Amino acid sequence: MVVTDSFDIYEIYRALVEQSPGPIALYVGSNMKIAVANDAMLMAYGKDRSVIGKPFSKAVPELNNQPFFGILQEVYKNGIPYFMEASQADVIVDGRLQTFYFNFDYKPLKDKDGKVWGIINTATNITQYVLHKKSVEQTEEMLRLAVDSASMGTWFLDALSRELTSSGRTRELFGFYGKDSLTLEAAMGQIPGSHRQQVIAAIDEAITKDMKYDIEYPVTGYHDQQLRWLRVTGKLYEAEEGKSPFLAGTVLDVTARKQDELRKNDFISMVSHELKTPLTSLIAYLQMLLENAKKGDDSFTIHALEKSNLQLERMRTLIKGFLNISRLDNSGIHLIKKDFDLYNLVLEAVEETRLLVTDHKIIFESCNPIKVHGDPDKLRSVISNLLSNAVKYSQKGKTIEVKCETAATSIQISIKDEGIGIHPRDAKRLFERYYRIESDKTQNISGLGIGLYLSAEIIQRHDGKIWVESTSGKGSTFYFSLPLLKH
Ligand code: ADP
pLDDT digits (tens, 9 = 90+) for 410-463: 999 999 999 999 998 888 789 988 888 888 887 778 777 888 988 998 999 999
- Cβ atoms of 458 and 482 within 8 Å: the answer is no
Output the CA torsion sign for 403, 404, 407, 411: positive
Please give the distance, rounded to the nearest whole angstrom, from the Cα atom of residue 370 to the centre of ligand 1.
Answer: 28
Q: Give me the helix-helix angle, 451-460 and 376-392, nearest 10°.
A: 140
pLDDT in tens, 98-120: 999 999 999 999 999 999 999 99
Residue (of 339, 317, 337) closest to 387 by Cα position? 317
Query: Distance, CA 314 to ligand 1 centroid (Å)?
Result: 16
Q: Kindly state if the Cβ of 322 falls inside 6 Å of ligand 1.
A: no
- 53 neighbors 154 (Cβ within 8 angstroms): no
CA of 389 to the centre of ligand 1 (A): 6
Asked if residue 442 has its Cβ within 6 Å of ligand 1, the reply is: yes
Q: How far is the CA of 428 from the centre of ligand 1 (A)?
A: 12
- Looking at the CA of residue 447, tell me the nearest atom of ligand 1: 3
**Cβ of 167 less than 6 Å from ligand 1:** no
No. of H helices and E strands in the chain? Answer: 14, 17
Q: Which atom of ligand 1 is nearest to the CA of 390?
A: 23
Output the DSSP codes for 307-353: HHHHHHHHHHHHHHHHHHHHHHHHT-PPP--EEEEHHHHHHHHHHHH
What's the CA-to-centroid distance between 204 and ligand 1, angstroms? 28
Q: Which of 316, 294, 314, 295 is nearest to 304 (CA)?
A: 294
The secondary structure of residue 211, as a DSSP letter, is P
Say what the pLDDT of residue 82 is: 96
Q: Indicate the top mutation candidate among 435, 437, 452 to test ligand 1's pocket, ranked by most ligand atoms within 8 A of CB.
A: 452
Taking Cα atoms as reference points, which of 156, 150, 63 lies closest to residue 104? Answer: 63
**For the chain, which ranges sit under pLDDT 50?**
1
Tell how far the Cα of 319 is from the centroid of ligand 1, in angstroms. Answer: 18
Phi first, then psi, for residue 94 (nearest 5°) are: 55, 35
Question: SS in 3 state form for 343-359?
Answer: HHHHHHHHHHHHHHCCC
Q: What is the pTM of this model?
A: 0.51
Helix, strand or coil, per DSSP, at residue 404: strand
pLDDT the model gives residue 436:
87
| Cβ of 325 below 6 Å from ligand 1 | no
Q: Is the CB of 476 inside a 6 Å radius of any atom of ligand 1?
A: yes
* C-alpha dist (Å) from residue 287 to 250, 275, 277, 306: 56, 18, 16, 9
CA 131 – CA 111 distance, rounded (Å): 40
Residue 100's pLDDT is 92
* Per-residue model confidence (pLDDT) at position 354: 86
- Residue closest via CA to ligand 1's atom 9 equals 449
If DSSP states are collapsed to H, E and C, what string results for 422-436? CCHHHHCHHHCCCCC
Residue closest via CA to ligand 1's atom 21 equals 389
Q: What is the DSSP string of 212-253?
A: PEEEEEEEE-TTT--EEEEEEEEEEEPPPTTS--EEEEEEEE
